[in-house]
Every structure is written in C-alpha cells, then in structure tokens.
Structure 1
Amino acid sequence: MKVEAKKRILVLRYRFIGDTILTVPFLRNLRRAEPDAFIAWVVAPGSAEVVQGIPYVDELIFWDPPTIHADSRSTHRTFRDKVSFIRELRARKFDKVYVLKRSLSSAIMAILSGARERVGFDTEGRGFLLTKRVPYRHDQHEVQNFLDVLRADGVKVEDDHLEAWLTEEERQFTEDYFLRAGVAADEPIVGIHPFSANPPRAWHIDNFIEVARRLQENYGARILFFGGPRDEEALPALRAGLTTPPLFAVGKTTLRQTMALLSRCKLLVCNDSGIMHLAASMQVPLVAIFGPQSPVKFGPWGENSRVVYSAFQCSPCRQKFFKECEPTERGRPECVEAIDVDAVFTQCTTLLDSRRERG
C-alpha cells in the first residue's frame, strides 16, 4: 500500500518583531486545519526569537537580506547568497505557499520556490504571480488580514488570540532578577517603555515620568523601565524624576529576558513599539500611546489592551516629520503632544482596578 506523502506548506512573513508576533494566530489555525502537514515559516533571524518554542511549525527558515532595519544581520548579502537560498527552498519541494508579506519580492520568492499553489494579498501589482488572490484591507487589524488569507483558502478560523512561550530557565531568570532587586512576591510591577526607534513618534519622557509617579502614589507600584542600549542616556532623567527608585532593564537584557520580565508585570505603559506587541502576546495588560500611526492596523491586539490616540486631519501621517507639520516646543508632532497625562493615567487605572476586582 502506497503511503501518501505529507503536504508541505511554506509561510512567508519575515521582518519586524510585531509582524512576527501577529502571525501566530494564522499559524495556529493553519496547524489545526492541517495537523499532518509539514509547515515551514520563513522569518528574519532576529525577530524569530520572540516565537521561540512555537508548536505550530516544523521548521523556521531564516531569510536575512540587507535592509535598513535594526533586526537585519545581512546573512544573504550577495546575489550568490540569494540564489543559494532559493535553491534550498526549491529543494524542499513545497506544495503550497502562503504569502503574508505584501511586497513584490515576496511573491517572486513564492513562485521561485516551485510551489504549485500560491495564496496571498493582491497588492503591488503582483497578483499574476499568485494562484489565489486575497484583497488586503487597510480598515482592519493585521491579525484579521492574515486570517483572511486562510478564510479565502477555505480554512476555518476558530480563534485569533496571541501567544508566546517561555522556558523554565527564563522564568527562573525573572524570579532571580526580582529577588536580587528586593521585590516582594506580591508587589505590583508596572513596566514602562518610554522610547521609540523613531524619537518624534515617542510621547515625551516627562509625561512617562509623571504617569510613573502617579502609579507609585496610587498603587504602590514598583516601576520597571525597559529599553535598549542606546536609551541608557535617559537613565539620569528617569532616576531624578521619581522619589521612589525604579528598576531598570534598559540595555541590560536580551529580547527573551525582556519577555520574561514582562510576564511579571501587572501593566505596561508604552509607545507604539515592538515591546507593545510582546506584552500583548503574553496577555499583559497595557496602555499604548499612538501619535502619527493609526492603531487600526497595528495597535495592540487583545482584550486587556488600551490605546490613547489623538487623531488629526492628517492622521495617519506619512511620518516625514516636520516637513509636513511643525514641531512643538518639546520637539514632537502636535498629534503626540496633544495626548495628556490624565488620559493615559485614566486608562491605567481602568486596567489595574479591573484586575484588582478580579483578584
């Protein structure tokens, strides 16, 4: 009796921590529909760290051409590197490719893979490269856009929540970290990420300090600041702004360690950033501050997420800052400056009080 070969499925959605996290519901529903298939996912090596331990794929394939983005390591720099990658992809003999990126290059990668079925968004004039074209919507969240690709392919979508996975070693790191910091087991930790890769998009640091002060005074919260190595220059201002000394995981933790520390937080207050999606994937209640970019497509996804957003006539903007608008006295676009501390703190109290009521 001839044994039928496993269906082989490839998913293309690489680059960016947020986009990687938002792909998880797609993969979970795909695995549920195709429990016996071999599923591989093309991802960027840096952002792939956030989905370490994912049970829905059999293989992560790293694609890493040079880009201006921070997570690029330029593994596939030369033309020879790229050709070699495509040859390796073709050797895997995939039957179907889901193209969740909207670029022309990703559709070209799909057809070069040799897969007979290619399902993806009908964008950037690339529809002729696909065997099934899916309309892309700008008026709904990216999670639902990804799931629309499954729906268009006749796959039942049963849920849409985010997920993340921690190892026992990472959980132990969290316990040790707070033990060394003298934090009691029942002490509420509130994470704050006041930074942004693009500084004009960030709410002013003085506003974050004021929110932190109110959280200390009203909830006895221990404040934990998150950030990267280049954000360390802000530490003196953060220390000076609070009477109760905060904790700092700024430039001191890996991406996975940051996820582990987030898991202990009762709340995260942040800008529109990758850490926002990390917290949402771990079901950490969060308040996200959006200025130039609309939260409709890329806002935090989950029931415990709140967005504070001040929409202007020019929102969402093209983010050519201070060419199409004037900076405020504090060097921010007006849409960011218009968000006041009271509005953000109100959302914080809503989430913390509801959690307190639930025990």
Structure 2
Amino acid sequence: MNPKKILLVQLKQLGDVLMCTPAIQALQDRFPEAEIHFLTQRPSDQLLAHNPLVRKVHFFPKGKQIRPFLDLKKASQAERFDLVVDFYNKPASAFLSWITGAPIRVGYKKGLRQFFYTHPVTPHSASPYSADERLALLAPLGIPFARYNLRFLPSDQDRRQAKEILEQLDRAPNRPLITLSPVSRQPYKRWDNGSFGWVANKLVEQTQGQVLFVWGPGEKPYVEEVRAALAQPDLGDYRDISLGETVALFELADFHLGNDNGPMHFAIAADCPSLAVFGKPLLENWLPPGSPHHQGVEFDPGCKRNCRYPNCGSECLGADKEAVLAKALEVIEKAWEGGRRKRPTPPEEN
C-alpha cells in the first residue's frame, strides 16, 4: 500500500477535528510522499489552516441538500484519492467516503454504514482517549499505535496579534496569566459560575495572577456572572478573535481553567498547563492519558456511564470547588517546578 492522495473525513466539532491531528501525523510518518487532504465544515478549517501536513481543506456545507454530495463526487474524481479514512463515523460520512471512488476506504464497523468501506474496523484502542481511538482506526494501514500531541499551529500574525491584545489590556508581565473559560453552549458541561468565581479568587490570591476570560459567540453572559464574583478586576474585554489568535493567547498564558469545551482543547494543543471541570462527558475520553500538565476534575454520582440526561438534574456537575482549587494549584506548581512556566518573583518590599 502506497497511497499518493489521502482524504480524511471529520465534519465537526472543533474538539473532534483537533483529535484527528495525531492521526494526521501518524499518516504522514507512514506515507511521507502522500498528499493529505481533509474534509470538514466551517469553522473547523481554522484548526488546519497552518498545519504543514495538510495540503488542502475541502468544505462540506451544513444541511441536508443533495447538491454537496454531487459536488464532492465531482471534486473527488478530479483529485483521484487513493485512500479515505472516515473519522466522523456517521451514515452521511460513510456515504461520502464511498462516493469518492477511492479504492481503499477505512471506517468504523458499525451498522449498515460498514458496507460503504473496504476496510470496516472495530478499533482496539490503547485507551479511551478520543485521539487514541482515531489512531487505532489506522491499524489496517500498517500503522502501529504511537501517541502524538494535539496540533493546532497559529500563524506568526496570530502570535503578533495575541501579544498586542495583552499589551492593550495592560497585562503585568511579572504576574502569572490565568485564562478562564467558564462557558459552554451545552448545559451539561457548565459548572457552577459561583464556584468558578470562588476558585478564580483563590488562584489570584495564592499566585498573584491576573485573569483573562476566554469565550465564544453567545457566551458572554456566563463570563459576566463569574466576573461579578471576582474580588479583583480581570484584564477586561478585547475584540473578537480568531481561533488561531486564541491558541496564541494560550501559548502566552501560565495556566488555563475552564469547562470541558473548545478552549480546553486549544490550551492542550498550545501546551498551556490546564485544568478542566467535567460534567456529563467522561474525563478519560478528552484528556491526554498520564499528563501531569493537563488535568481534569469530575464528579460521578453513579450514573456517568449509564447517563439519563436530560432526565436528571445534571448531578455530575457537582465537582467540589475545594478539589478543583487543589488540583489547579498542583498543576501550576508542577509547571513551575518543571520549568514549563516561570515562577513569579515576589514583589520587592519598600
């Protein structure tokens, strides 16, 4: 097997597309001469815009129209893909894989969709971590399992813009920068705002840090609730920024605290020491196994693996704020001890 053109399919979400980036690296290592293309939806293309391993990003519009399928078939015939790997694992993406006409099509062995693949796979992952499960899907291609980091590369312009934002906000360079993202569009992922405020106050008090909120469209009200609970002012608002600029901010941050959301994944990709508070989703699926620098806290009321949502009171969002604070301080201390972030110097006494 020596494919010249490879198409990878993951239509959404942001975190799921980011979880495919280790598989992109594994494919490039196995087939260094191959062109790797990626099929997704906006805004996930921003995650791949500066990835040197992805030659081209193809867009599949949202909706249920037939026209996009016909357009993809035409484009695929022009590209002449040798191999398609469907990470999305939906009936529509299985059909998309089939209409490309690629002679080798890899996807999950599940239901009737498996018949659209030449190589339906029942993955045996080394761990339940989502990125590892995607890597396991590559086994029929002769790719042994090896763990790779998430990859989201901001541009040089993104990095310049991130620095300018912090300069405009009058960030004190001798104080730790703590990014805070108490947001999610999914109610089963939103930890109590009062608890976020309490933990943020304790972190500022014990590290002398400054808080910078991170949020997306429609999420500002959650930020304002936590902001109102802060004992010291945060760094304030800034203009709407791109995903690449967000990652560039995380590269400059000392620690990130937030819900299980997109910014959590971006912080991990930027290798910013981080802690996420989990609700309904399982921590083991979304955090890199064994990492001391990217940790999570979750509370299992006994039903997380047999979830009844929405027929419940989201008791899984009951993580203890003391436990969150202790874990946050542990992650920060390990980052300081290991030299991943610079320990702040105490202010000089007059």
TM-score, normalised to structure 2, is 0.89
1:320 has 2:300 as partner:
no
1:340 has 2:340 as partner:
no
CA distance in 1, matches of 2:62, 2:200: 40
Tell me, yes or no, if the aligned pair for 1:190 and 1:265 is still in contact at 8 Å: yes
Q: CA 1:336–1:238 in 2, change beyond 3 Å: closer, same or farther?
A: closer
* Identity %, equivalent residues: 24
Unaligned stretches of 5+ residues in structure 1: 67-76, 328-332
TM-score, normalised to structure 1, is 0.87
Cα deviation for residue 319 of structure 1 reads 6.1
CA distance in 2, matches of 1:180, 1:136: 48
CA distance in 2, matches of 1:137, 1:100: 15
Partner residue in 2 for 1:60: 57
1:243 has 2:231 as partner:
yes
Cα deviation for residue 248 of structure 1 reads 3.8
Q: CA 1:98–1:16 in 2, change beyond 3 Å: closer, same or farther?
A: same
1:169 has 2:166 as partner:
no
Cα deviation for residue 221 of structure 1 reads 0.7
Tell me, yes or no, if the aligned pair for 1:293 and 1:316 is still in contact at 8 Å: no
Cα deviation for residue 255 of structure 1 reads 2.2
Tell me, yes or no, if the aligned pair for 1:42 and 1:63 is still in contact at 8 Å: yes
Partner residue in 2 for 1:358: 338
CA distance in 2, matches of 1:187, 1:210: 20
Tell me, yes or no, if the aligned pair for 2:129 and 2:288 is still in contact at 8 Å: no
- Counterparts of 1:225-264 in structure 2, within 5 Å, are 225-249=213-237, 252-264=240-252
Tell me, yes or no, if the aligned pair for 1:280 and 1:302 is still in contact at 8 Å: no
Q: RMSD of the alignment, in Å?
A: 2.2
Tell me, yes or no, if the aligned pair for 1:189 and 1:221 is still in contact at 8 Å: yes
Cα deviation for residue 318 of structure 1 reads 4.5
Match among 131, 147, 150 for residue 118 of structure 2: 131
Q: CA 1:225–1:38 in 2, change beyond 3 Å: closer, same or farther?
A: same
CA distance in 2, matches of 1:228, 1:307: 21
Moved over 6 A (4+): none
Partner residue in 1 for 2:99: 112
Partner residue in 1 for 2:189: 201
Which letter does structure 1 place at the counterpart of 2:220? E
More deviation, 113-122/178-187: 178-187
SS of the residue aligned with 1:227?
coil
Match among 200, 205, 213 for residue 201 of structure 2: 213
Q: CA 1:23–1:258 in 2, change beyond 3 Å: closer, same or farther?
A: same
CA distance in 1, matches of 2:308, 2:7: 33
Which letter does structure 2 place at the counterpart of 1:343? A
Unaligned stretches of 5+ residues in structure 2: 340-350
Q: What are the Cα deviations for residues 213-272 of structure 1, in whole angstroms up to 9, with x where unaligned?
A: 001100001011111232223454333312211024577323222222121111111111
Partner residue in 1 for 2:297: 308
Tell me, yes or no, if the aligned pair for 1:232 and 1:250 is still in contact at 8 Å: no
Q: CA 1:248–1:135 in 2, change beyond 3 Å: closer, same or farther?
A: farther
SS of the residue aligned with 2:111?
coil
Cα deviation for residue 317 of structure 1 reads 5.2
More deviation, 227-236/278-287: 227-236
Q: How many residues align?
A: 336
